[in-house]
Structures are given as structure tokens and as C-alpha cells.
Structure 1
């Protein structure tokens, strides 16, 4: 029978992700709207976006945080175009976004010394191939595959190269070994349920040193430039953005950061996300028709949780459409390049009670299309 109880919040999209519980537009501090981002109030809000990010994430001394254009994609492109080139590069890719960075490195930057280590959806590549002498580019959590890196032991403490990590669906949801990471990028519209178009760029002192001692051979677009006369433009990491940001989006991000703080910090947000995954793990363990796309439990994502089903592709689409029509789950079809299935967001802005209310509907929708 069709279930009687629906999730109070049916937004399980993997990006843009659900707003925090209790979110309301009138709770935002909109005193910056209509003001220049270079005014004192504008710069203060942007500076707080950087400093509060660093505080909540407990970044090591000397790590810098900046707001940059173009969401996580812009932040990663900015990092790759600015930093790659002087060393060989090891690229680890196992889903669409990681493979996109590999394509950029090979076909756009056209670097000569590139080692590509790839794996199919559901698996991780062989990280033991990483060289301490090379730069490394990888995603921490494969947003489109639901497969995450479970540790950073494979990154050498004596590395000579830099590590560039796309962590857009893991920052604020997974433990990040900051000392192993020289460049980390993420976007507001993932784990914190913020708005799109803005990226966050975190640089270690080693990354700053590379910026100040290496000049790429290719032309550098204005929005990618982080140095002037061989020195880091420090203002970028104090809220003096390269181009004009949306101050409404900044206010929204500050609201999300305040919410994380109210939970008890990033550790509480991580714990909430892990408990969300546990709800779905219990469900899958009792059914044969649904499986995690991730082939190994330790590498199973607790944010972009991906499933394969004992259905044909068209049946899977019909199932997702039924759930949308009933108003119980929006935008949970798998990513277009991924194997057919479902993808349910489990970050901390999603409530476990809503996931529990969704589960009987999954059973019902499966029975309707099988």
C-alpha cells in the first residue's frame, strides 16, 4: 500500500543541496544588500566568510581561505591553471568530475608529464601509485559515484609536490587531513546547502610558496590571477574578491556557518551525516533489490549516497519520477554519466527523520515499477 507519511522535507538533491533545518530567508542578515562588496560592511562580511570557515574547519596555522568565482569548478580550475606545470602530475579519477580534471590537464593545459590512474564507478584507483615527487590531483568524495577516499596514508609526509583536492561534497561532512592537503576546493551549495556560483579555495603555505616562485607558461585569465609582482595577493584571502560576488549569497553562507556552529561545530555536522548514512545502510541490508554503488563499505560516501537497483534503466527513471510526483523525493536520479540508479543526499542539512519517512516510499515505488 502507498505509505501515509511523507518526509517533511523532500529535498534530497546532491546539489544544490537541501537548506538547513529551520531555514528562513528573513533570518538572513541582509544589511549588505545594495552596498558595494568593497564597502566596509561588504568586506567585513566577506572576511567573516573566510575567517569563520577557517575557524570552524580548524585549519592549521598559515592556511588561507578565499572566496573565488565559479563555484567549486572555478576554484579547481583556478588552482590547476595557477599551480600545475613545474612537476609531473598524478591524477586519480573514478567518477565524472575527477575525470573532468584529467581532461583539463591533458587537453587544455596539455601538460607533458601526466600519470592517469583511473577506476570504474564504484571503485577507487590504486593510490599506492602516487609519487612523493609529483603533484597530485584528486577528489576526496566522488559526488557522482558515492565513493570516497577513506584515508590519506598514501600521501607522503615528505612529499615534494603539491596535493590538489576537490572536496566539494566532503568539507563539513568528512574528516579532512589538512596537513596532507595543499589545495582544497569546495562550494557553498553542497554540504552546507548554500547558494551556487561561488567557490572556496584553501591554500597551504606550500601552495603559496609555489604561487610565488612559479609562473605558468600560458596566459592567465584575470579571475585566475592570485599573484602580483611575484607575491600572493593577500586581499583575496581577506574578503577582497577578484570579481563582484553576490552579497545575498554571502549572507546565506554566513547563516549556514552559524548553523554549523550552533550544532557544535564541524564534528557534530560530520556525526549527523554519518547517522544519515546509517539509516540507509539498515534499509539496504534488508533488501536484495537495492545495493550501494560503492563496492567497499569503508569507501562509502555519507553525503552523495549512490545506489544501483534490480531494474532496467527506464524502470529506474520511472521510479524516480513517481517519487517526485508524490512529493516525497526530488532530484534523486543518478548523475547522467553514472550507472542508472538513485542518489540520495545524506549531508547534515538533511534530517534522519525525513530519510526514515522516505524509506517506505522507496519500497512502494519499486513495487510499482518492478
Structure 2
């Protein structure tokens, strides 16, 4: 079967999961990995706390979180973790906030700071999908809220020097599709969030926060507003002072979570962490990501119908890889028709069991998004790419046939 001279591929990915969240499970995963899950037991039991503490300790060690930082598990995935930081720290003690908004979630953080928290001194630096705002315009004497890697746009901060080594304000970093996949400048950040469902293929609904001593000190200055229970990281200080009415609730950072976690998900998170350690830690994870990304990079360079959405190579994400279709006939379509063409293309891939969930995020221009995190095997990326060529050619031929039929009838 051919379309525009492209033969239907025969070889399929062994694991055709390329969703950008929840992401592919680690290679070799099966339900057997969860057989020792602490089911039917309280997460506040000695054994439950121990496993939650193990997730915290292994995560901190694998990521290279500095000594003196506090790492904890919080509710509601990365969204909950970021919102917790915004509501707990945003606008505290009159601190102005600069926020970068260049993809769906970072734009949400900006809207929440402006509209929900109604902070008086917020500056939003925006950019269209596929671009970064002007980083030189940021005032690092203020608090800064940034997303390290834009999951929905495929834009990544260009390097560790994106944040200056010295800054007077706090830097709050959403790192959910960067953690466990690329380097983070921990010594230049103050509070970092991520989730279990991204780079290590964990299950949803659990977020994590890492707090520097500076962030902890700010929290202990007291909450700037009433907070719901699931956002509270502090408790009244045993010996309060005018500048320190609260103290960090240390139990949260030892496995005593604010709300009830899924011990099934905890077991799965531990499985992912142990796998990462066994293959060589963060260095090995990053190498797998780079190998996956280079495979797509080389493929795009040889195609005339697809390009990276992000034009600056230094700003391209190596995990959530976003592509746009550049074929003239596709560009001539209205956005609605482009979206339908992409849906038809991805439906073909799913029907053939060649690739699942590779459409661009709904807020991005119609195109493709392929997760290249470490839990994805490079041979599966290699096997997917010919199917993309074939599915695109199939959709192009179908649309062209429909146009020809319409022309003939008229």
C-alpha cells in the first residue's frame, strides 16, 4: 500500500507510547513491579512513612538536590505543587513578581498571580508558542516564576546561565518535564516542582517540591493570605518572633504527607527511581533523552514537510518535542481543517498501533508532539518515524482526492 510513493511500514515500535503526560513506563515495566505495594495499610504507618520517605530520599539523591534543601510530596501533581508555591510565597511581604508565560501552564501561573491572587505588582513576560520571552528584561531583584521546559510548546530555557548566580528575589521553577531529563541549576533556584507522571513514567496526582533554605526562611515569615490545608507547609512556631511567626512542618519532608497518597502510586514511583539508579543515574537518563532527541533531529533535517515549532535550536526541548507541518497544502488550510488533518493522521497511527498520543497540545498550533524522555527507547522512536511519513502521506492523498472530486463536481 503506497501513498505519494511512501510504502506502509512493516516494523512497529515495541512500545508505541509517546504521550507527554502521563508518559511511558520504564522499559520492562509490568504489574509485577507493584506486587509489594503497601495496599490496605495506612500511609501514616511506620511502613507507609518509610516508603514515602524513600521516594523523597531517592528523588533528591538522583536529581542532585543540594544539602540543606527540603524535599516533600504534595497533592495534585505538578499543578498542585506550583499552585502551593504561588499561594504560599507569591507577593509575600510586598515582593514584586516577574513571571514568564510562553506556553499553556506558564500562562496559567501568570493568570493566577494576576487574577486569582490579585497581586498588585506582577509583571508578565509573554511569548507566542514556540518562542521564549526576552530573558534580559527580567528583574532578578524581584521574585521570578518560570517554567524550565515548556511541555506544550517544546520550548526550553537555553542553559543553566538563564538564571543569574546572584538574585535578591526567590526563583520559583516549574521543572516537571525537565527533572530527571536535563540539568537544573539548583544553586540558582529557590523552589522547584515536578510530578511523578513525567520523566520517570509514574502515575498521576502526586507532586513534589524542593525548597532551598531561602525559600524556607520566606515561608517562616508567615503566610501572606489564608491557605487551604493542602497548601500549608508551615505550622505556628513553637517560639514565635515578630519576623518568624511560623516554622516549617518538617514532617511533610520526611514522608508525612498533607493528604492521603496512593500507596500503589508510591510503589510505582519507587520502581521508576530504582530503575533510574540501576541504569546509571541522572547521567544515563540524560543520555537516553539526548539519543531520542537526536533521532528526531536527524529525521526532521531530512524532511520537507515538517520542522521544529521552536526555531532557535538552543531553546528546543529534548523531552516534549513539538513539530509543525510546513507542507504548502497544509499551510493553506484553515486552523480547523489543520486540526482535522492532524487528528486523521494520529488516528491512523493509533489504529495501526504504531504510536499513541502524538498530536500537539490543544493550545499549540496544529502539529505533532513526541515525548522523548528517558523511559522511551530509541529504537521505538526510530520505528515511529516512518509511520509519521506514511500517515502524513495518507492524509495528504485523501485530502487531495477529496479536493479533486469537489473540483470535478463543480
Question: Normalized against structure 1, the TM-score is what?
Answer: 0.98
Contact kept in structure 2, 1:130 and 1:154, CA below 8 Å: no
Which of 129, 151, 166 in structure 1 is aligned with 2:159?
151
The answer to whether 1:322 aligns with 2:329 is no
Q: Which residue of 2 aligns with 1:134?
A: 142
The answer to whether 1:82 aligns with 2:107 is no
Distance 1:8 1:156 in 2: 43
Deviations 1:15-38 (A, max 9, x none): 000000000111235251111001
The answer to whether 1:299 aligns with 2:325 is no
Distance 1:117 1:214 in 2: 28
Deviations 1:196-227 (A, max 9, x none): 000011111110000011321x2210000111
> How far off its partner does 1:295 sit?
1.2
Which of 334, 340, 343 in structure 1 is aligned with 2:369?
343
- The list of structure 1 runs, each at least 4 consecutive aligned residues, that deviate by more than 4 angstroms after superposition, is none
Contact kept in structure 1, 2:160 and 2:183, CA below 8 Å: no
Q: Give the aligned length.
A: 369
> How far off its partner does 1:49 sit?
0.6
Distance 1:189 1:71 in 2: 8
Q: Which residue of 1 aligns with 2:402?
A: none
Q: Which runs of 5+ in 2 are unaligned?
A: 1-6, 237-245, 397-410
Task: Say which SS state the counterpart of residue 176 (structure 1) adopts.
Answer: coil
Which of 223, 234, 243 in structure 2 is aligned with 1:227?
234
Task: Say which SS state the counterpart of residue 161 (structure 2) adopts.
Answer: coil
Q: Which residue of 2 aligns with 1:168?
A: 176
Which of 185, 188, 205 in structure 2 is aligned with 1:180?
188
Contact kept in structure 1, 2:39 and 2:263, CA below 8 Å: yes
Contact kept in structure 1, 2:37 and 2:263, CA below 8 Å: no
> How far off its partner does 1:153 sit?
2.3
Give me the CA root mean square deviation.
1.0
Contact kept in structure 2, 1:173 and 1:269, CA below 8 Å: yes
Q: Which residue of 2 aligns with 1:123?
A: 131
Contact kept in structure 2, 1:130 and 1:155, CA below 8 Å: no
Task: Say which SS state the counterpart of residue 153 (structure 1) adopts.
Answer: helix
> How far off its partner does 1:195 sit?
0.1
Task: Say which SS state the counterpart of residue 354 (structure 1) adopts.
Answer: helix
Which of 259, 265, 271 in structure 2 is aligned with 1:255?
271
Which of 22, 38, 41 in structure 1 is aligned with 2:44?
38
Contact kept in structure 1, 2:358 and 2:370, CA below 8 Å: yes
Task: Say which SS state the counterpart of residue 91 (structure 1) adopts.
Answer: strand
Task: Say which SS state the counterpart of residue 90 (structure 1) adopts.
Answer: strand
Which of 286, 300, 306 in structure 2 is aligned with 1:270?
286
Q: Which runs of 5+ in 1 are unaligned?
A: none
Which of 24, 28, 33 in structure 1 is aligned with 2:34?
28
> How far off its partner does 1:42 sit?
0.1
Which of 38, 55, 58 in structure 1 is aligned with 2:61?
55
Distance 2:358 2:162 in 1: 33
> How far off its partner does 1:234 sit?
0.5
Q: Which residue of 1 aligns with 2:20?
A: 14
Contact kept in structure 2, 1:10 and 1:329, CA below 8 Å: yes
